[in-house]
Structure 1
């Protein structure tokens, strides 16, 4: 007799297969299934293809555990589709290049004698072009296919990045870099639409976490390399970023499907944007996105390098180290953030994200040395891990995973934060001090946490209805036993 929790999938009657949460799968039997069980899976498949139980699936007294699987089978048994993994890998490649530019972007602008407000323009004009392009990016993705939109968008940013490196003046640098926002909007919005369309309802938090993790893993090494390259030449990191964008464009052109897939749950009519806009989950996600754009993509990228070089009087390499360590802390929390977002709901994670990010933002300019600044950035990174999963999952819930205009508006609000943040914070810092400039961003993040309190618990957990409470309880027990 096989004891409980042994790592086998036992042959079961047809009704048991219909009750399981299974993953569509084709090919040879994975390492944890024998030929007889594999044949039974194929015969009883509810999808018409070969199915493999997800990790944590409980069948009678047996549970499928990751310890019984090879790497390839473990990836498939997560339940996340191939599209999610490809998009995450693409995000990793892009983030390496983008991370290389971060430590030198504002110091490069300083070579043109830019003040704090003008430094904000360097960051904000790129985001402004993204915001202007966002409504059109969703239509372009639907018209030419998400894969083509992602590929073309990356090539546009690559061309803009090379032109920025060759800019002869501050005005030229701002204009040429802002043009890259056109391509950035195309590939980010199309990628998010494809991600939300491909991820099952009960795995949206984990899919968002994996996608964010791809960016963060790249961000860990990028800033450190950028600091080293910046010590040689401020222009070299821009060339490196352009090369990474071209490589990634070729990768997605061969690896992604032409268009976003359609899940079985999408057979119902899509919600109108006016209806989505009234959804408190969408509203809370947008407030969180404003704070994230303001601080994560705006103020932090624009002003932390200046804080390091001009307040702490350190080399640009330390900026790269600080960002890399903070990205490592954020990456370490992404797995838990995605799982908790799916198990606990979006609301508690949105609240935790706003509180952690808000308080750590307020503390950043008061760090007396680089070590305490790195510590505060790491705390912010923990909150940012939650901030990168829960809002995206909430938008997917509110739109039934359809994406489209609501995703474009969600992205636009993030860009508005990235536009306004550096400009307003830079102007405040010029007039007062760093502490006051960072305070505004911290308060916006805390406002996002407060707004999330308005989400009713029943609505917050509505994404579980497709699965049923019994399946959710079984998964929670299985995951809890494995922790």
Structure 2
């Protein structure tokens, strides 16, 4: 605070808004993206089968999206620095929209592969740029809440999408893909019209872009990346690939899988905002410890689950831990990179994609050659490792000095 000069009125601290409006714009855009993904994901295997694709070809089509995300991730940080995050974000949305529209008019399985691969590239351009923008506009003491608002949009879109996709598919199998294309076009227009690029309240003054070799020596960054890897492994390997198999083996049909996922998603949606406040108020270290600890306990208990009710309960407990893990690691990344763009956000995103690509394959192999409990144990081991690593963090609770504005004399 500067001293008041002779004859002047003392400076007045102005109250800052809870969150910049860009955070809410990004949340709405993310909701549109996840709503669209929810529309097409349940329909994609059936749509591919209409072109004569068998189970292996359908699996390749689903995996290609994540593989293309992973392949394109290393370039996203540099593109954002060179062309600006908003431009890369919009380019990603438009590429995804084009991909979905082309899939709707595809004439062969080969075309489906090419068009789905384009969607993977667009997806990672959007997600990395959106997260980098979020960390740039969110003040350090509000990064947890900003991450929670951002993830809330994704959660709500993901909950609503599959049911709507099923209804659209009753009209024609291509309808969900056309609807997704339109949603993404609307999201791109919203981004161009409302999202500003000059707001960088989270980008700390005097801090330059942190280079990747420096980040890889930073403990907080590595712990956040480990948590992201564990999340990708559990969400896409255990939950996405293994849980449906287990439920069917218990002689339940696939609708029971949908109910289990919906209930756990609702739990996470209810807890995501309190989790964001906890990250900011209690600090990153307690939030990381609590999130990884609760998630690890739930997945470890799944090793011993022998019935559908316990499965739903434990997935809901995992969702509670996951709510914290949707906000705390991103806030840690924002603290380390000082809210500035660069390769740091892209590599963090890659860790989730590595878990999403490698997890289902390894989990499937372990389940086949060892046992299903051992497959659950692989995810539990990663979460336990992240839990142990979180204890090595120092308590971080960033604060921002209030903006000081001198008041003129009347």
| TM-score, normalising length: structure 2 | 0.84
Q: Structure 1 stretches of 5 or more lacking a match? A: 1-13, 18-40, 55-76, 469-483
> What corresponds to 1:129 in structure 2?
68
2:322 is aligned with 1:384: yes
Deviation of the 1:182 alpha carbon: 0.8
Deviation of the 1:108 alpha carbon: 6.0
2:382 is aligned with 1:441: no
Map Cα deviations across residues 87-109 of structure 1 (whole Å, 9 max, x no partner): 01111121212223344455666
- Relative to structure 1, is the Cα distance of residues 424 and 204 closer, same or farther in structure 2, using a 3 angstrom cutoff? same
CA contact (8 A) 1:208 1:393 kept: yes
> What corresponds to 1:427 in structure 2?
365
CA contact (8 A) 1:266 1:402 kept: no
Query: Which residues in structure 2 correspond to 1:185-334 (within 5 Å)?
Result: 185-229=124-168, 236-258=175-197, 261=200, 265-308=204-247, 312-315=251-254, 317-334=255-272
Map Cα deviations across residues 311-361 of structure 1 (whole Å, 9 max, x no partner): 54414x444433332221101111111111111111122122222223333
Query: Which residues in structure 2 correspond to 1:140-155 (within 5 Å)?
Result: 140-155=79-94
- Relative to structure 1, is the Cα distance of residues 178 and 432 closer, same or farther in structure 2, using a 3 angstrom cutoff? farther
Q: State the secondary structure of the residue aligned to 2:190.
A: helix
Task: Pick from 46, 51, 54 the counterpart of residue 113 of structure 1.
Answer: 54
Name whichever of 190-199 and 353-362 sits farther off: 353-362
CA distance in 2, matches of 1:321, 1:166: 32
Deviation of the 1:234 alpha carbon: 5.9
Name whichever of 135-144 and 447-456 sits farther off: 135-144
| TM-score, normalising length: structure 1 | 0.72
Q: Which has the higher contact order (CA 8 A, sep 6+)?
A: 2
2:44 is aligned with 1:99: no
- Relative to structure 1, is the Cα distance of residues 312 and 84 closer, same or farther in structure 2, using a 3 angstrom cutoff? farther
- Relative to structure 1, is the Cα distance of residues 45 and 330 closer, same or farther in structure 2, using a 3 angstrom cutoff? same
- Relative to structure 1, is the Cα distance of residues 361 and 381 closer, same or farther in structure 2, using a 3 angstrom cutoff? same
Map Cα deviations across residues 357-388 of structure 1 (whole Å, 9 max, x no partner): 23333455865555443333222211110110
> What corresponds to 1:70 in structure 2?
none
CA distance in 2, matches of 1:304, 1:110: 23
Q: Structure 2 stretches of 5 or more lacking a match? A: 403-410
Map Cα deviations across residues 12-52 of structure 1 (whole Å, 9 max, x no partner): xx9999xxxxxxxxxxxxxxxxxxxxxxx9x9556xxxx4x
CA distance in 2, matches of 1:162, 1:305: 29
Map Cα deviations across residues 117-166 of structure 1 (whole Å, 9 max, x no partner): x7664444322211221121122223332222112211212232344456
- Relative to structure 1, is the Cα distance of residues 216 and 419 closer, same or farther in structure 2, using a 3 angstrom cutoff? same
> What corresponds to 1:358 in structure 2?
296
RMSD value over aligned CA atoms? Answer: 3.2
CA distance in 2, matches of 1:221, 1:16: 54
Map Cα deviations across residues 407-429 of structure 1 (whole Å, 9 max, x no partner): 11111111111111112122333
CA distance in 2, matches of 1:232, 1:304: 30
Q: State the secondary structure of the residue aligned to 1:267.
A: coil
CA contact (8 A) 1:102 1:301 kept: no
CA distance in 2, matches of 1:106, 1:396: 37
